[in-house]
Structure 1
């Protein structure tokens, strides 16, 4: 399984936003804090916005916030938002994959791998990954 740079950067950006739920953060601030290339992060944040995982506001007081509470955003949500399919084989979905003869059982194994990865990623929220101090701030604000 390959974890894309987009999924990694997207998750790190969302965790930065989750740590500061009371104020918007700029892409510049997030990129600097997480040592992510700004131009790449800008496109990733655009995909997160389209998926409803972040919301934005323009202007001098603008920036980005989480689109939902950190406790409601899973790593599976992030992966689907930026990568689409969780696991592909040669760029194709595993859903319709089929092999002839002695390899006929192999697609079922690949689908089990995908289901296992989805179960793990779907069970991890942004809130569960936050350091204790940030999680406590979320609890006080009722955002987790």
Structure 2
């Protein structure tokens, strides 16, 4: 399940994707316009900065911006940075695999097998859609009508 941290991070990233090239957004502005607690947003942006998805500039005229074009940042990247692996259980994870203590044989474990399918379905959607795609979903234009999930 997507946590508030992941949801707020996605909202902040969509906000940044909507800026004109070269423009920066201040944390308070993003927090106010997206109903995100500022202190929590500070922490989220710090994690996104450490992962290389956003950059910050201090001082007058400073703020946050995307480190790469929105079309080059997948939704899956953002979710993994903020919420960790996409798999519902660790034995179904690609990035943080760990076997279960109570499993005799993973190859026939029906719980694991269905959770791998769930993980793959989630990854397929999140990894094949970019921040630019998300931005287009909320844009009142032709892009919303032609974009299909």
TM normalised by structure 2 equals 0.79
CA shift, 1:104, in A, is 2.0
Paired residue for 2:2? 3
Where does structure 2 lack aligned partners over 5 or more consecutive residues? 144-149
> 1:77 touches 1:122 (CA, 8 Å); kept in 2?
yes
Paired residue for 2:119? 114
Paired residue for 1:100? 104
Q: Take 2:68 and 2:56, find their aligned partners in 1: how far apart are those partners? A: 12
> 2:13 touches 2:131 (CA, 8 Å); kept in 1?
yes
Q: Take 1:93 and 1:100, find their aligned partners in 2: how far apart are those partners? A: 12
Q: Take 2:25 and 2:132, find their aligned partners in 1: how far apart are those partners? A: 18
Paired residue for 1:51? 51
CA shift, 1:109, in A, is 1.3
TM normalised by structure 1 equals 0.82
How many residues align structurally?
Answer: 130
SS for the counterpart of 2:36 is coil
SS for the counterpart of 2:85 is coil
Where does structure 1 lack aligned partners over 5 or more consecutive residues? 136-144
Paired residue for 1:17? 16
RMSD: 1.9
Q: Take 2:82 and 2:134, find their aligned partners in 1: how far apart are those partners? A: 19
> 1:10 touches 1:44 (CA, 8 Å); kept in 2?
yes
Q: Take 1:120 and 1:62, find their aligned partners in 2: how far apart are those partners? A: 34
